Amino acid sequence: MGIQISNETYKERVKKGLEDRFMRNAVAEAQERLKTNRVLSEEGLGNWEEWRTLGEEIRSHTIEHLDYYLEQLSDQVVKRGGNVFFAQTAKEATDYINNIVKQKNGQKVVKAKSMVTEEIGLNAVLQQEGVEVVETDLGEWILQLDEDPPSHIVAPALHKDRERIREVFSEQRAYNGTSQPEDLTLFAREQLRKDFLSADIGITGCNFAVAESGTVTLVTNEGNARLATSLPDTHIAVMGMERIVPTWEELDVLVSLLTRAAVGQKLTSYITSLTGPRLEGEIDGPSEFHLVIVDNGRSKILGSEFQSALHCIRCAACINVCPVYRHIGGHAYGSIYPGPIGAVITPLLDGYEKHEELPYASSLCAACTEACPVKIPLHELLIKHRQVITEENPSLSEKMMMNGFAEWASHPAAYKLSTKMARPLLAPWIKSEKIKNGPGPLKAWTTTRDFPAPNKQSFRSWFQKRQKGEDK
């Protein structure tokens, strides 16, 4: 599938989102709950700002020295009997994984939730080769059965309700139970247990790799990542190249930030740290371990004014506070990465041409920046995107308007004149001090909202008269 999840235009996607009442209710409720949990868990620490600062400090240092830490990581993985493949492109990554699966004569792959494997479109590649690929995270499994892309990076099936999930299970898996989440979940457990026991290969993402020891750490609640890395004989972990920490001490900090920011938990049920394949005498765990480190456009971000976007730890805190996301939902972004962080990284990874509207899908309210546990200035990065777009591919009418703005705002005389002229110019549209059906760009506003008429007297002219003693 890749990063782009839709061929519809931005406008169509937004319209669809706005019209989906169920989705909007579900998202609003989820945001409320996730946000409350997050805030409570942050307050519980008493010094959240210090934690954020530490998180930012660690992320900046690590990304600034990424080549060093990746080298250390790969050396350590090999020392422990694992293999490391550096993939510049999505294709290089999927080719390599595909080859491993073939070499192992793999028939069935169990996958634990991973955004980077969505990003490189891994499932489609393997399925084309006749390999059965089973997503084992409950949310991802639901989406896989329904052939639907994720709409949230932590809770991928957020947009579906229990009734729809029951339908999907019954259509695809002959389920005949109720729509109670407990029953649906139990059914998934029973179904997927068989897959875990019969899979040849487990594929996971990687929340954080620890450079000093060559360790891959997975953060989950369901236990599927543990199963996928305990039962199959081969484990392939796929990581975005920036998902790395120097040592175990930084792992602690970032995991603590991640679980709190994502779901308000002190730690999730399972934090699983894997170093190489199983050791001599061990029975479970894979006999073969591969780490695939993916660039896929990330290196272009390094050294640019967007570098801090690579600090992201994929917690979705920004998504959970974003009012735009609340109203349009994840699919409207047209990317597997939705919300503010999606609007920042999607154009960087997948090009402006396909995603030019995303940087504008924000009121710049900065709720995202405030929520980010590693202090990425998300709303500022959105403005930077807009700067790139206006420099490279401006809309001519808008540019003319902005040139006009610059002249107006840099010449007090012109500005002063406009304070006198605005009202007469708009006079045809003013009715009882309101504009209800404005011209030009005002139309978009006045279709749904009244706009006030410019005042008969500007402040500056009042102040001038007041100083002359003419007015009080």
Partner 1 sequence: MKVSLFITCVCDMVYPTVGKHTVDILERVGCEVDFPTAQTCCGQPAFNSGYLDQSKKAMKQMMRAFEHSNYVVGPSGSCVGMLREYPKIFAGDEVWEKRAIDLANKSFELTEFLVDILGVVDVGSTFTGKVTYHPSCHMTRILGVKHAPIKLLQHIKGIDLVELPMKEDCCGFGGTFAIKNAAISTEMATEKSQHVSETEAHYLVGGDMACLMNIGGRMNREGKKVEIIHIAEILNWN
Partner 2 sequence: MIQNREEFLNRIANQLNRPRQKNQVIKPVWKNQPQWEVMNHFTKDELVDVLEEQCKVIHTTFKKTSKENLPTILHETIIEYGGGPIISSKDERNVRFGLDRLYKKLTSDGVEVREWCEDKRNENVRYSERANIGITFSDLTLAESGTVTLFNDKANSRTISLLPVNYIAIIPKETLVPRMSHATRLIHEKNKNGELLPSCISFITGPSNSADIELNLVVGVHGPVQASYIIIE
The residues that touch partner 1, with contacts defined as CB under 8 A, are 14-15, 18, 323-324, 327-328, 359-367, 369-370, 383, 385-391, 398-399, 402-403, 405-412, 415-416, 418-419, 422, 434, 436, 441, 444-445, 447-455, 457-460, 462-464
d(CA 144, CA 299): 30
The residues, any chain, with a CB within 8 Å of residue 274's CB and separated by 6 or more, are: 215, 216, 217, 218, 229, 235, 237, 285, 289
Q: How far is the CB of 327 from partner 1 (least distance, A)?
A: 4
- 408 interacts with, out of partner 2, partner 1, none, CB within 5 to 8 A per kind: partner 1
275: helix, strand or coil? strand
For 272, phi and psi rounded to 5 degrees? -115, 120
Q: Measure the CA–CA gap between 268 and 36, rounded to whole angstroms.
A: 17
Q: Does 316 bind partner 2 (CB under 8 A)?
A: no
Query: Which range in 9-17, 159-167, 200-208, 415-423 contacts partner 2 by CB under 8 A?
Result: 159-167
Site for partner 2 in 323-342 (CB under 8 A): none
Which member of 153, 165, 312, 315 binds partner 2 (CB under 8 A)?
165
438-462: burial string, b at 16+ Cβ within 10 Å, e else: beeeeeeebeeeebebbeeebeeee
Among residues 124 and 267, whose Cβ is nearest to partner 2? 267
Binders of partner 2 in range 127-146 (CB under 8 A): 136-139, 142
Tokens 């510049």 map to which residue?
88
Residue 162 in the binding site for partner 2 (CB under 8 A): yes
What token pair was written down for 113? 């939730």
Q: DSSP 3-state helix, strand, coil percentages of the chain (rounded to 5)?
A: 55, 10, 30
Of residues 168-227, which lie at the interface with partner 2 (CB under 8 A)? 181-182, 184-186, 188-189, 192-193, 196-197, 212-213, 215, 221-224, 226-227
Helical H segments across 46-160, by residue range: 48-64, 66-79, 90-103, 115-119, 122-128, 138-146
Residue 15: CB minimum distance to partner 1, A: 7
**Which entry of partner 2, partner 1, none binds 370, CB below 5 to 8 A by partner kind?**
partner 1
Candidates 152-160, 344-352, 370-378, 411-419: pick the segment binding partner 2 (CB under 8 A): 152-160
**CB-wise, 136 or 362, nearer to partner 1?**
362
**Burial per residue of 118-132, b for 16 or more beta-carbon CB atoms within 10 angstroms, e otherwise:** bbbbbbebbeeeebe
- Cβ 415 to partner 1 shortest distance, Å: 4
- Contacts of partner 2 in 223-282 (CB under 8 A): 223-224, 226-227, 229-231, 241, 246-249, 251-253, 255-256, 263, 265-282
Q: Is 284 in the site for partner 2 (CB under 8 A)?
A: yes
Count of residues touching partner 2 (by CB under 8 A)? 107
Burial-class residue 19 by CB neighbours within 10 Å (0-12, 13-18, 19+): exposed
**Interface region with partner 2, contact rule CB under 8 A, candidates 45-53, 322-330, 406-414, 420-428:** 45-53
Instruction: Assess 305 for contact with partner 2 (CB under 8 A).
Output: no
Instruction: Please name the residue that has the structure tokens 């199983």.
Output: 278
Number of neighbours of residue 245 by Cβ within 10 angstroms: 27
d(CA 221, CA 296): 28
| From candidates 3, 74, 120, 134, binder to partner 2 by CB under 8 A | 74
How far apart are alpha carbons 27 and 452 in whole angstroms? 33
